[in-house]
Structure 1
């Protein structure tokens, strides 16, 4: 379906956190190509300015709002800026996230708290600041939360990230149920990426507890990762269908979900599947 055919679904602005690179930047570019004004949020003002420049150079409408999703006041300021510029928000993408590597007992407390505050609290703050405003609008809208296949299965050496993504997956499922009751015009989706080429491991600082895992995962994404642009295409295909589950790699999701269902149903201990 060509971009012109999406204009009817492009009512309202798209607000994207973690929009300075990777999936967030790709979703922002694709939203703009579909005719949506975009509001770009990221901790790095420099990164979102670069994304915004590319969008506006192509004729799109982009507003940048440097945002720390771990800070509720910062996310509330993002919502205020978005609604000051645009009459309505049609799409909220809670996408900001960070990685962590290392065994649970090796992680510095500050690193653990950083992962939880960005990945879990960041999504919560987005919900808290935007959903009441979106719910006051009778027009259709959608909230998409970037979870991960890490929130379906379990992997040793990536505990903080996995814990955060299991929590975010549960948060998204809860939001789906609560919006169905209170704001049925708001659709909810979990965007579940597997290997997508992003900066997420580039931004993990090498450390004694991360060890060689940093280089391993950086290589994995470079060699096996789907492009962020392809992930954004899948993202919007799912949004257009109104899917709750939007998976970049359905085969990986099915394998992990099937194995987890077996472990739970048979009360088996975790394994590598």
Structure 2
């Protein structure tokens, strides 16, 4: 039996942003290993599609409509999940959007949406669920979606990069809080490298500056051509979480290279270095 099935099987998994992308991949894996999966997404139809994939493969899943940018919705969601199921073994705060455009050109509404979904959705997801988990007295695992982008810098992806730096710092502090309080809640920072998802699809850029489309297209093509299979990456995420690892990677070598560059940048205190990819996109 796979390690994740041994640890998580039979429990309840809550995955936000599970209508597509990494959230859907993690939800499918959770269903495969015998979990009851709460598939939450602002797009109810997309959530239902993930549920259909899980149930058609013999798993158990429920679709819930949820806007993680609204803390009061997360509060109600946590209350309803615990009222219905009595426990949550696995909480994945995944919901997030990519925003492309120069800082001063991204409209206020898109900035606020990016911050509220990517940062506040994770923070308030934890805040809403942890008191219920503690009250249940059961062991649990929390995975927050960071990124290799949490350890670097990329012009025209500033909004997204800022949020992932924030999620990484939040997860590190949360891990220590669980240790300080001696709680049986394991915290992981999930660090995807390059996975084949739809995060850079053109339609996902609604509300961005018009000149962001070339950058989106270049990133989409790179992920399509060189990205890792989504389901394989999500399988690796849950396996590592089942081993109580804080650092959870899809492509450890990529993470090591980027984190190594970050360490040198901080040690040498040099100005930020322009990524080659940024220059290439700007030149196209």
Q: TM-score range by the shorter chain?
A: over 0.9
Residues 86 and 136 of structure 2 are in contact (CA less than 8 Å); yes or no, is this contact kept in structure 1? no
What's 1:226 paired with?
A: 228
What's 1:114 paired with?
A: 113
Residues 135 and 183 of structure 1 are in contact (CA less than 8 Å); yes or no, is this contact kept in structure 2? no
What's 2:94 paired with?
A: 95
| Pairing of 1:190-201 with structure 2 (within 5 A) | 190-201=189-200
What's 2:162 paired with?
A: 163
Distance 2:36 2:182 in 1: 23
Q: Confirm or deny that 1:149 pairs with 2:151.
A: no
Runs of 4+ in 1 over 6 A off after TM superposition: none
| Pairing of 1:51-62 with structure 2 (within 5 A) | 51-62=50-61
| Pairing of 1:1-273 with structure 2 (within 5 A) | 1-2=1-2, 6-202=5-201, 203-205=204-206, 207-272=209-274
Residues 14 and 36 of structure 1 are in contact (CA less than 8 Å); yes or no, is this contact kept in structure 2? yes
Residues 65 and 81 of structure 1 are in contact (CA less than 8 Å); yes or no, is this contact kept in structure 2? no
What SS does structure 1 have at the residue aligned with 2:189? strand
**Range that drifts further, 51-60 or 28-37:** 51-60
C-alpha RMSD of matched pairs (Å) = 1.6
CA shift digits 1:79-137 (9 cap, x unpaired): 12211221210000000000011111221111111100100010011011001111223
Residues 141 and 187 of structure 1 are in contact (CA less than 8 Å); yes or no, is this contact kept in structure 2? yes
Residues 107 and 209 of structure 2 are in contact (CA less than 8 Å); yes or no, is this contact kept in structure 1? no
CA shift digits 1:168-189 (9 cap, x unpaired): 1111111101111225200000
Distance 1:209 1:125 in 2: 33
Q: 5+ unaligned residues in a row in structure 1: which ranges?
A: none
Residues 41 and 78 of structure 1 are in contact (CA less than 8 Å); yes or no, is this contact kept in structure 2? no
How far does residue 8 in structure 1 lie from its aligned partner after superposition? 4.8
Q: What is the TM-score of this pair, normalised by structure 2?
A: 0.91
Distance 1:180 1:53 in 2: 38
What SS does structure 1 have at the residue aligned with 2:205? coil
What SS does structure 1 have at the residue aligned with 2:245? coil
Distance 1:269 1:56 in 2: 51
